[in-house]
Structure 1
């Protein structure tokens, strides 16, 4: 959906002085820069998602297939434990010193974590130092991503006015989809172009190396962005996280509950189903990656549409109907996959589930953003999103695999998605409609 220059409001903040930013971007260019920059930054995380089941055995060799699968998903989730901390630290930095320096900091931290992954030898080569470095890379990656989301979302929101905040914020969802599409295309290209041996030995490293090389491009794209933070009065110097807990505890709890349903949906549909198709449906890895591509493409296409719609019908309405749709579709989707275990069925099911997933994301992000004051927005967005992600998103694959093992029911992941969705609806009852509300 094209950006309409006639509806674009000036950023909330005082523009950057001309001597510091002689060629300030137009609003269309600014939104494009934030979106593309965010996509480039999130690319490395997407690559890890697609290659997780290939990488983990090289660093954590275990003879038991189930144990190795659980360890793979557990290590995948470990990176998510650092995201709330990254959101708190980098988010507070963004709320004090500006959105631009915060997103640049998180970008370079992502590049450093990717470099560790590229150069670290396997367990067979250096022993137990290898898994330690792997976990370190995942923790740094999680810390960096934790700071990017809140800062970038706050900047998008603050470029908009009351009539376009949903549409602007939706480009954060689109950037996640673009990152996953880019990562999926790279993963597919390497999987089909290289032999299994070459992919295992160096192919996946090439994917991360590409991520390092594009980071400077992201910095260049974002260099001329205007700062949108309005500096608070000097007397307001209390720590952002403490203010959030003390003054806005209700909004914080509601936001975590809302984000829980979003986190579970994204990670089960976009990341877990391709792996599920490989180990449960026995669809070849190279084919199953297409499921991640389809889910990401739906986020790119339907995210901005959903943002535009929630600027007209309301945030709560969009969240409600999209979450209810996911609840109703979850079990039939897994039932169909196990009844007709084919690539065609997988892609159709993922495509159908990804539409309400993409529709609920922008409305949730803008709703959470609008209930928080500007001086806490980046911190609050990052912390609430990544607390939910760390618990219910990052470990969604682990929880789902354990559910299958405990119940003997291959459709058990649907129960996890339904449970998280119901919890998120409870959070929806705790926040007011914010459509047209002036930002504080």
Structure 2
């Protein structure tokens, strides 16, 4: 990735280490997501002990879901702050808040030591983390787009998506290695805390590098619109309401695709009756696809345009999902579940690379960060927190093993129709609209 020699004019130099520091927030989100999913049972037993193991697990999953509540608030507050004060201070705030949340979870004494106060600590920690994650994607993506060479904005921004797959894969490999080294009992007792500590350990590096980044927000934002958080949100709704509605639907389709993918281990074991050994290997296929194919999507977006990459991978998902699930239900084996997971994840990842660049490119600089932050946070909060529950509930109520396919196809049709109305932004001058 050549990002350090082609920037000229008003663009600051975007070095590889700067890209790594900017996408670190997204990577930490998915590292945390993966680790929490791996050790939800242990976390539940630590902070929500119960004679019924299922009750502890459900309490732990509810704790994880609490973070989604704060994402829209973080999107509004931190996204608007980034448009007023700059991308860099907003990115420093989000990564610092993420670290605080992770520390509170990793270091909190268990229920046996502190009683109900331990639950208060971890709940507050998850709320802080949700606030940070809601405000992370807008400022960091806006920074990448504003600092990247114009002809390579799609590829540079696609690292936001690829970093998620890298983090999830690294988390899985580290968790497996540590479990092998210390054993299941130790991992359930204290090993899961070590996994969170490993994530916290990279935060100082991110903070140091982010603090030395040049600012990209410029000084020509509209003072009236940027005077307050309310001013930024009001301008977004008044001037860009149609665009926000379209992008909400596009991100909803992408979020449902991701959720169907992360649900595949549960689907493989609970619905298809495959072994735990097979189902626990499914995230490998998911991770590999979500590392490589976002970069392909970003490369394509730079060469054939954003709209084509927004539309055609989603069309392929509409066409291929039902046949793929029919094959999977008729031939439930390890290779078939890995192949279907990889295929859908690959198409969704290509599509997501175009989403992450097309939406902020469509907005003027004065509301760019807030626009992406808000619509992303609301869409992910609603559909990221509900899809897995709903598809499993549909399977239980209908007895139809194809329910996830129907759900994904329905949302993909909606996302495709919304993408048809999106403007083409490849080659757009992001400087000329700074005061628009």
The farther-off stretch of 396-405 and 302-311 is 396-405
Are 1:45 and 2:33 an aligned pair?
A: yes
Q: CA deviation at 1:147?
A: 1.2
Partner of 2:79: 91
Partner of 1:160: 148
2:3–2:148: 8 Å Cα contact kept in structure 1? Answer: no
Are 1:230 and 2:218 an aligned pair?
A: yes
Matches within 5 A, 1:151-230: 151-230=139-218
Q: 1:126 to 1:410 in 2, by over 3 A?
A: farther
Q: 1:300 to 1:5 in 2, by over 3 A?
A: same
Partner of 2:313: 322
- Within the candidate set 61, 67, 79, 1:79 is matched to 67
Q: How many residues align?
A: 427
Distance of 1:275 and 1:126 partners within structure 2: 33
Please give the secondary structure, in 2, of the residue aligned with 1:164: helix
The farther-off stretch of 319-328 and 292-301 is 292-301
Distance of 1:410 and 1:73 partners within structure 2: 24
Are 1:369 and 2:366 an aligned pair?
A: no
Partner of 2:384: 393
Are 1:259 and 2:251 an aligned pair?
A: yes
Are 1:344 and 2:335 an aligned pair?
A: yes
Q: CA deviation at 1:329?
A: 3.0
TM-score, L = length of structure 2: 0.88
Q: 1:66 to 1:264 in 2, by over 3 A?
A: farther
Give per-residue Cα distances to partners, 1:253-279, cap 9 Å, x unaligned: 11111110111112221x222343444
Give per-residue Cα distances to partners, 1:22-74, cap 9 Å, x unaligned: xxx65444324323464246522332233335534554457778877766554
2:18–2:213: 8 Å Cα contact kept in structure 1? Answer: yes
Please give the secondary structure, in 1, of the residue aligned with 2:427: coil
Are 1:379 and 2:370 an aligned pair?
A: yes
Q: 1:353 to 1:308 in 2, by over 3 A?
A: same
Distance of 2:60 and 2:274 partners within structure 1: 19
Could you say what the CA RMSD is over the residues aligned between the two structures, in angstroms?
A: 2.7
Please give the secondary structure, in 1, of the residue aligned with 2:2: coil
Are 1:430 and 2:421 an aligned pair?
A: yes
Distance of 1:411 and 1:195 partners within structure 2: 37
Distance of 1:308 and 1:244 partners within structure 2: 29
Partner of 1:331: 322
The farther-off stretch of 189-198 and 65-74 is 65-74
Q: CA deviation at 1:86?
A: 0.7
Q: CA deviation at 1:141?
A: 1.6
Q: 1:38 to 1:66 in 2, by over 3 A?
A: closer
Distance of 2:222 and 2:116 partners within structure 1: 51
Partner of 2:283: 292
Q: 1:62 to 1:317 in 2, by over 3 A?
A: farther
Q: 1:115 to 1:253 in 2, by over 3 A?
A: same
Q: Give ranges in structure 2 of 5+ residues lacking alignment.
A: none
Are 1:249 and 2:241 an aligned pair?
A: yes
TM-score, L = length of structure 1: 0.87
Give per-residue Cα distances to partners, 1:114-137, cap 9 Å, x unaligned: 112112344555554444443333
Q: 1:87 to 1:76 in 2, by over 3 A?
A: same
1:8–1:27: 8 Å Cα contact kept in structure 2? Answer: no
